[in-house]
Amino acid sequence: MMLRAMLGEAWLAMGANRLRSALTMLGMVIGVGAVVIMMAIGQGAQYAVQQTISTMGSNLFIVLSGSFTAAGVRSGSAGGPTLNVADAEAIAELDGVVNVAPTHQGRRQLVYGSQNWSANVIGTTPPYLEARAWTIASGAAFGDSDVRSATRVALIGKTTAQNLFGDENPVGKTMRIQQNPFIVIGVLGSKGQNLDGNDQDDTVIIPLTTAQRKVFGTPFLGSVRMIMVQADSAENMERVMDATTSLLRQRHRLREGVPDDFFMRNLSAAAESEAETTRTMSILLGAIASISLLVGGIGIMNIMLVSVTERTREIGIRMAIGARQRDILTQFLLEAIMISFAGCLLGLFLGLAIALGINAFTGMVIVISGTAALVAFAVAATVGIFFGWYPARKAARLDPIEALRYQ
């Protein structure tokens, strides 16, 4: 039997019982729609987290100087002068370390002309920019020579630039931090929020030495509060952190049993676990949505079984006038696929519309990928074939004499 004629008949059969076909289809519409929405939201969440992580820089950990106690008051981490630039230089020599940047940061008031603004000031060395994946939007970064000679140059973030300079181009302008004039030599590329929701663009980066001498002051020259370390790969993180610990204990001459005089934090681990959480959530959402797709498929099977029973006589007639088993099989399978396909198409549009609506009204990040749509479509076709198969085979295996006798 010819496929075109069969499609026409399947269409006719669908049209013969419109409400029933529509309700059966609705199951698929909801199923596919749910899958599309959930995938859009899940992938959107993953995308958002990936974005944030990529702005933070990968495979990072920080070493903070230990606390010190003065008159019974403990300073908390990064309070004591236990780390110095030489420690950072030694860590840089370790295997698997890509970038090491001693840093010193704090909020300071900035002044330019009649404007002033408080921003996070980071004193560091050039590897910091690389470790944190900072780009330079305009102007240029400072180099090692600036650190050596403690020049008063600054890189500023986008938010800081807007608040302090307005529409002016900050590059080449002189601003003041703590009464000290700094020349803005570059504007940093935008990063947006970090995982904690802080604006990473509200930042000023200056050479470490300048920061220590002119901005923050330091009890001992060369001591640093924090050292940022970037490992070459996620697999090497653990090993590099262990090596750093033993290196620092040795350098600080700490005997067995004496606690570390520094703290270490794995920045990437937090980000990784965040990414893992969203991935799990995304899979969970997809799985739940798939259940509704399954229910839709069962709905198709149910209706097709009813349809086969109702049309037993018709099947008998068709067989008597020459329909082979496979003609009957194809006919019923085609009907199931048609319902499933039409439902899928509607579900796809409905899902996209709702996903876009969610994006428009809540601002939630959604990602609509062609793959997701394709997967939903393939699944629907499979569902149609899978759940249509049994009823269609039941129809094809009817005995023509019995079927003709059926009232």
Partner 1 sequence: MTDPVIRVVGLGKSYETAAGLFPALKGVDLEIRPGEFIAIMGPSGSGKSTFMNLLGCLDTPSSGDYFLAGQNVAHMDKDALAILRNRTLGFVFQGFNLLPRMSLQDNVALPLVYSGVDKETRRAAAREMLDKVGLGKYADSLPNRISGGQQQRVAIARALVNKPQLILADEPTGNLDSHTSEEIMALFGELNREGITVVLVTHEPDIAAHAKRQVRFLDGHIVSDHLTEAVPE
Which residue ranges make up the site for partner 1 (CB under 8 A)? 1-2, 4-5, 12-13, 16, 313-314, 316-327, 400-401, 404
Q: How far is the CB of 305 from partner 1 (least distance, A)?
A: 19
Q: How far is the CB of 393 from partner 1 (least distance, A)?
A: 14
The residues pairing with 109 across neighbouring beta strands, listed in sequence order, are 118
Nearer to partner 1, 374 or 401 (CB): 401
Nearer to partner 1, 9 or 232 (CB): 9
Q: How far is the CB of 3 from partner 1 (least distance, A)?
A: 11
Q: How far is the CB of 317 from partner 1 (least distance, A)?
A: 5
* Residue 25: closest CA among 336, 333, 288: 336
* Cα–Cα distance measured from residue 71 to residue 182, given in angstroms and rounded to the nearest whole number: 37
In this structure, are strands 174-177 and 97-112 parallel, antiparallel, or unpaired? antiparallel
Q: How many residues does the chain have?
A: 407
Nearer to partner 1, 328 or 348 (CB): 328
Nearer to partner 1, 70 or 321 (CB): 321
Going by C-beta distance under 8 Å and a sequence separation of 6 or more, which residues neighbour residue 90? 247, 251
Residue type, 120: N
Q: How far is the CB of 352 from partner 1 (least distance, A)?
A: 34
Radius of gyration for the alpha carbons in the chain, expressed in angstroms and rounded: 33
DSSP label at residue 260: P
35, 213, 342 from 360: Cα distances, Å: 19, 49, 27
Sign for the CA dihedral angle at 165, 167, 169, 173 comes to negative
Nearer to partner 1, 104 or 318 (CB): 318
DSSP label at residue 406: -
Nearer to partner 1, 28 or 319 (CB): 319
Q: How far is the CB of 12 from partner 1 (least distance, A)?
A: 6
